[in-house]
Amino acid sequence: MLNSPVGRGYPQFSFCLGQVLGALVTALGALVVGSLLRLAAPSGVWVVLLVCWFAVITVREFGLLSFGLPQNARLVPVTVFRHGRFFGPLQFGLEMGTGLRTYVTSGLPYVLLPAVALLASPGAALVAGLGFGLGRSLMTTSNLRFSDDNSWDLEFSLYERWIKAILVMAFAGGIFAAVI
């Protein structure tokens, strides 16, 4: 992805902007669907179910359990950049930000999405979407700033277990502060 025309300067900015916008679209979509689903049970039931689901995902994150999750298992074609240096990365970022365009390499979004759908207020859903987009943008930004040879990905792989552990704990803390 980062060998693509999403370089420094405004293509990077428009890509990150697109990621935030895409995440907001998904958050609002989840909120609309969830507003119907949450009528089926009181919020306490959803909290308990989500905590159980998060426990399962946490075990999966550390490779102790293996099962597939639904994802759009294909790469993004380079033709996404046909709209130029601003709108090309913007569209690409928007598609990536939705989380529905390509592979999803972590289980955490699969907990975040139902949490937003079933427990978040409209404002909270927007904030969660903003956070997701900023989290993805943090990856893009730190990757590009770290080096010119994509060695950031290698560092990520080297420290993946630590990074996963920190993010799982951060996610748990965030959800705790948000809904419990």
Partner 1 sequence: MTVGTPRRVLWHPLVAAALIGAAATGGVLLHIGAVSVAALIGWLVAGAAGGFAVSGST
Q: Given the rule CB under 8 A, which residues bind partner 1?
A: 19, 23, 27, 99, 103-106, 108-109, 111-112, 115-116, 120, 123-125, 127-139, 141-143, 145-147, 152-153, 155-157, 159-160, 162-164, 166-179
Residue 128 CB, nearest approach to partner 1 (Å): 4
Residue 34 CB, nearest approach to partner 1 (Å): 14
Residue 2 CB, nearest approach to partner 1 (Å): 11
Residue 118 CB, nearest approach to partner 1 (Å): 13
For partner 1, the closer of residues 85 and 124 by Cβ is 124
Q: What is the DSSP string of the chain?
A: -TTSS--SSHHHHHHHHHHHHHHHHHHHHHHHHHHHHGGGS-HHHHHHHHHHHHHHHHHHHTTSS--------SPPPGGGGGGHHHHHHHHHHHHHHHT-SS----SHHHHHHHHHHHH--HHHHHHHHHHHHHHHHHHHHHHHHH-SSSHHHHHHHHTHHHHHHHHHHHHHHHHHHHH-
For partner 1, the closer of residues 90 and 125 by Cβ is 125
For partner 1, the closer of residues 89 and 133 by Cβ is 133
Q: How many angstroms separate the CA atoms of 66 and 59, rounded? A: 9
**Left if phi > 0, otherwise alpha if psi is -120 to 50, otherwise beta: which for 72?**
beta
For partner 1, the closer of residues 82 and 158 by Cβ is 158
For partner 1, the closer of residues 83 and 145 by Cβ is 145
Residue 84 CB, nearest approach to partner 1 (Å): 26
